[in-house]
């Protein structure tokens, strides 16, 4: 049994990028599939977060011995051999009467987790050295891009030490694994998420001066190397992993996952969805995983002409928002050299910024739509679908004034609803489509509007978002992961799991908006 386990794990490690940390599926071959496909738990994430109470070899041997005996119950077996996470998010009752601000202040403590003093053997959790804040609900670990928006609130709340701790944790992950995983779980070690680390460093520098830039230069450079790996050997019109060289020789990036297997945390959903796709299963799984790396899992933004999950083609698209984030990573690296007086090196990085800005303009501006869209590598033209990702070039000062005016016109006409801004204009049943809206995108849009001198519309968006958040809190005592901004009396829907409360990035953006409103009065 031990020899079989080693052989199976080694094979799986080869298919998931060669990372040394084995995942639950790699540790528990056969049993993993039986539990997930048998729907022992309504949410597939429950089992991958469970902690084995004995060695995997011991558990597998017991399962092999017992599974065919009369009266065997798999759920009972799992609960006897694993510490299963509690389904409840937190044992916390809101005090609605106290108001939003006291609720937010309490949630920072409720959602904070302390560093793991020692690694729990065979757990999927990757230990972190310093305290951090989790989103809440089923999300029991730190998440990469979520954390930046959580940090916005922590900064407003005067919790700079926790902002520093979380930034240090992400630097630790880069040093440990060469990149920041989607979350601190072994099953996330094949992909990253939208690269907000540079913005975290910028946020900390605002509070602690530019000396912060020097401190984080090495992890910033290493994250950049992760995103650009293989770029130097690319011929025009080709791509490798996360980097693409366009027809004119320009370099841009895409989302990617190193695995071609079903996601372990959504195993049943992926296996079932692959049956309906015309793509070979490995290709379909990679596209599903790449969409998870984008944070937009899932949206018609990534779908083919059929407009269904079965047609997902994430790796064929160059995302406009991703490339704006990598532009600010390049800008931040340039600043790390400038503050140390290394002007020649800083200018080299500033040149990378100029080239990326030009490439985003060339490939992602869709003049017919009056919008920034993803670039379609297969069709060799900007994608037709407009999404709120088109506001990133405004927020990161890529858009010209004329382009910004066109985007703002379309935003006000088509995306602005009673509760805020739609994610896309398509009602597909996917959670990153209409009628849903998400805190991080409201924040980016408001930043873009302010930076392109459209303060009135920025105020309208933030006011509507705050009003919706506050009303739902008054009715439910909760701040939610996402909201329905068309019919604000109905909950948001879609996705692979029930609507989650907590919720890290909602809390952070809400407090930022509340304080901005107060400052403008």
In angstroms, how far is CA 162 from the centroid of its own chain?
A: 20
Residue 160, phi then psi, degrees to nearest 5: -60, -35
Phi, psi of 217 (to 5 degrees): -60, -45
pLDDT at 32 over 60: yes
Nearest alpha-carbon partner for 251 in 399, 171, 355, 387: 355
Whole-angstrom distance, CA of residue 331 vs CA of residue 351: 10
* Both tokens assigned to 396: 């990161």
Query: What beta strand segments (E) does 192-272 contain?
Result: 238-240, 243-245, 251-253
Q: What is the pLDDT of residue 86?
A: 81
Contact 40, 81 (CB under 8 A): no
**Residues in CB range of 480: below 8 A, 6 or more apart:** 472, 491, 492, 499, 500, 501, 503, 506
DSSP 234: P
Q: Check if 481 is active-site.
A: yes
Q: What distance in Å separates the CA atoms of residue 521 and residue 517, rounded to the nearest whole number? A: 7
Rounded Cα gap, residues 385 and 301, in angstroms: 6
95 Cβ contact list (under 8 Å, min separation 6)? 102, 103, 106
Does residue 500 fall inside a structural domain?
no
- Which is the catalytic residue, given 168, 297, 331, 350? 297
Let me know if residue 236 belongs to a domain.
no
Residues 492-518: what's their mean pLDDT?
92
Beta bridge partners of 417: 420
Mean pLDDT value of segment 398-425? 98
**Token pair in block for residue 333:** 């690296």
Q: How many residues does the chain have?
A: 521
Q: What is the mean pLDDT of the chain?
A: 94
Q: How many domains is the chain partitioned into structurally?
A: 1
Q: What is the pTM of this model?
A: 0.95
For residues 137 and 503, what is the distance between their CA atoms, to the nearest angstrom? Answer: 8
pLDDT in tens, 446-493: 999 999 999 999 999 999 999 999 999 999 999 999 999 999 999 999
Q: Is residue 157 part of a domain?
A: no
Residue 9 has pLDDT above 70, yes or no: no
DSSP character for 452?
T
Catalytic residue, from 43, 481, 496, 501: name it.
481
- The answer to whether residue 517 sits within a structural domain is no
Question: Quick one: residue 209, left, alpha or beta (phi over 0 = left, psi -120 to 50 = alpha)?
Answer: left
Is 436 a member of any domain?
no
Q: Does the pLDDT value for residue 12 go beyond 70?
A: no
Task: Classify burial at 412, counting beta carbons within 10 Å of its beta carbon; exposed 0-12, middle 13-18, buried 19 or more.
Answer: middle
In a domain, 424, yes or no: no
Q: Which domain holds residue 59?
A: 2-40+51-83
In a domain, 68, yes or no: yes
122 phi and psi angles, rounded to 5 deg? 70, 5
| DSSP-assigned letter for residue 185 | B
Q: How many CB atoms lie within 10 A of CB 208?
A: 13
CA 416 → CA 59, 78, 435, 445, 490, distances in Å? 54, 48, 11, 11, 17
- What does the block give as tokens for 271? 């296996």
Task: Give the pLDDT mean for 282-289.
Answer: 98
Distance, C-alpha 508 to centroid of its chain: 15
pLDDT at residue 172 is higher than 50: yes
pLDDT confidence band for 518 (50 / 70 / 90): confident
Domain presence at residue 6: yes
* pLDDT (average), residues 379-393: 98
What's the pLDDT at 91? 61
**Dihedral of CA 351/357/359/361: which sign?**
negative
């Amino acid at each position: 049994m031990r020899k079989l386990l080693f052989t199976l794990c080694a094979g799986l490690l080869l298919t998931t990028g060669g990372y040394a940390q084995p995942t639950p599926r790699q540790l528990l071959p056969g049993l993993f599939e039986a539990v997930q496909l048998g729907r022992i738990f309504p949410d597939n994430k429950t089992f991958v977060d469970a902690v084995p109470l004995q060695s995997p070899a011991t558990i597998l041997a017991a399962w092999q011995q017992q599974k065919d005996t009369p009266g065997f119950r798999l759920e009972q077996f799992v609960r006897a051999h694993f510490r299963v996470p509690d389904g409840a998010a937190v044992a916390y009752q809101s005090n609605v009467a106290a108001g939003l601000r006291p609720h937010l202040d309490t949630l920072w403590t409720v959602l904070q987790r302390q560093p793991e003093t020692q690694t729990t053997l065979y757990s999927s959790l990757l230990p972190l050295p310093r305290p951090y804040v989790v989103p809440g609900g089923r999300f029991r670990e730190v998440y990469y891009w979520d954390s930046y928006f959580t940090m916005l609130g922590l900064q407003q709340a005067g919790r700079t030490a926790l902002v520093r701790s979380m930034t240090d944790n992400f630097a630790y992950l880069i040093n440990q694994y060469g990149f920041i995983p989607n979350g601190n779980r072994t099953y996330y070690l094949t992909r990253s998420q939208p690269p907000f680390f540079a913005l975290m460093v910028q946020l900390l520098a605002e509070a602690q001066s530019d000396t912060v830039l020097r401190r984080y230069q090495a992890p910033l450079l290493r994250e950049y190397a992760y995103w650009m790996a293989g770029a130097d050997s690319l011929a025009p019109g080709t791509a490798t992993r996360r980097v693409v060289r366009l027809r004119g020789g320009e370099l841009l990036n895409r989302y990617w996952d190193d695995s071609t297997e079903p996601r372990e945390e959504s195993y049943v959903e992926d296996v079932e969805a692959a049956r309906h796709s015309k793509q070979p299963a490995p290709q379909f799984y990679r596209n599903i995983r790449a969409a998870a790396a984008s944070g937009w899992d899932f949206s018609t933004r990534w779908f083919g002409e059929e407009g269904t999950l079965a047609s997902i083609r994430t790796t064929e698209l160059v995302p406009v928002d991703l490339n704006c984030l990598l532009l600010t990573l390049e800008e931040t690296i340039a600043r790390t050299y400038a503050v140390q007086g290394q002007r020649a090196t800083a200018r080299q990085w500033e040149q990378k910024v100029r080239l990326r800005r030009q490439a985003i303009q060339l490939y992602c501006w869709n003049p017919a739509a009056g919008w920034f869209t993803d670039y379609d590598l297969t069709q060799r033209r900007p994608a037709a679908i407009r999404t709120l990702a088109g506001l990133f070039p405004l927020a990161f000062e890529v858009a010209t004034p004329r382009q910004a005016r066109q985007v703002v016109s379309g935003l006000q006409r088509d995306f602005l609803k009673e509760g805020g801004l739609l994610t896309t204009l398509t009602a597909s049943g996917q959670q990153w489509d209409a009628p849903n809206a998400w805190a991080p995108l409201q924040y980016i849009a408001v930043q873009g509007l302010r930076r392109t001198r459209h303060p009135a519309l920025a105020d309208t968006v933030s006011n509507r978002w705050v009003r919706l958040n506050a009303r739902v809190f008054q009715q439910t005592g909760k701040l939610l992961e996402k909201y329905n901004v068309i019919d604000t009396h109905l909950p948001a829907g879609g996705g692979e799991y029930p609507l989650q409360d907590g919720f890290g990035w909602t809390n952070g953006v809400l407090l930022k908006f509340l304080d901005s409103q107060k400052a403008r009065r």
